[in-house]
Each structure stands twice: as structure tokens, then as C-alpha cells.
Structure 1
Amino acid sequence: MVKVSTYFAMSLGAFLFWQSMDKVHVWIALRQDEKKERLEKEAEIRRVREELLREQASQKDSLA
């Protein structure tokens, strides 16, 4: 009887462990996706800002 209950407890413990690890992996993947999206947005903002500065500089040069 002790062997059966020990086996059941170990199986339950392993199941709970793998479920928690699955949740951790999902959480890490979501964090990485959010970070990637944020970096892409920042790069796009930087690119648009540089384009606007170039346009303003070319307009100043053409007026002068």
C-alpha cells in the first residue's frame, strides 16, 4: 500500500512540476515577444525621426 501511495504522490508531484514549468515557459516566451515588439517600435520611431530631421535639414538648405 505504501508503494502505491508513494507512486501516486510522485506521479502527482511530477505532473504539477511539469505544469508549472509549462507556465514558466509560456511566461518567458510572452516577455520575449513583448520585448521584441517594443524594440521594433523604438526602431521605427527612430527611423521616422531621422527621416523628418533629414527633410527639415534639406528644407533649410534649400531656403538658404
Structure 2
Amino acid sequence: MVRVVTGFGMCVGAFLFWSTMDRVHVWIALHQDEKKERLEKEAEIRRVREQLLQEQAKQKESLA
């Protein structure tokens, strides 16, 4: 009887462990995706800012 209960407990423990690990894996993947998207947006903002600064510099040169 003790062996049956121990085996059942181990199975339940293993199931809880793997389900928790699955949730952690999903959370990590989502966090990495969010970080990647944020970095891409920041790079796009920097690129557009540089273009605007270059256009402003060209306009100042043409006016001078």
C-alpha cells in the first residue's frame, strides 16, 4: 500500500513539475519576444530620428 501511494505521489509530483516547467518556458519565450519587439522599435525610432536630422541639416545648408 505504501509503494502504491509513493508511486502515485511521485507521478503527481512529476506532472506538477513538468506543467510548471512548461508555464515557465512559455513565460520566458513571451518575455524574449517582447524584448525583441521593443529593441526593434527602438532601432526604428533611432533610424527615423537620424533621417530627420540629416534632412534638417540639408535644409539648413540649402538656406545658408
TM-score over 0.5 for the pair:
yes
Displacement of 1:4: 0.7
* Cα distance between partner residues in 2 of 1:53 and 1:34: 29
Displacement of 1:59: 0.5
Any unmatched runs of 5+ in structure 2?
none
Name the counterpart of 1:18: 18
Displacement of 1:29: 0.5
* Cα distance between partner residues in 2 of 1:31 and 1:61: 45
Name the counterpart of 1:9: 9
Displacement of 1:44: 0.2
Equivalent residue runs for 1:1-64 within 5 Å: 1-64=1-64
Displacement of 1:35: 0.3
Any unmatched runs of 5+ in structure 1?
none
The CA RMSD over aligned residues, in Å, is 0.4
Percentage of matched positions with identical amino acids = 78
* Cα distance between partner residues in 1 of 2:20 and 2:40: 30
Displacement of 1:24: 0.4
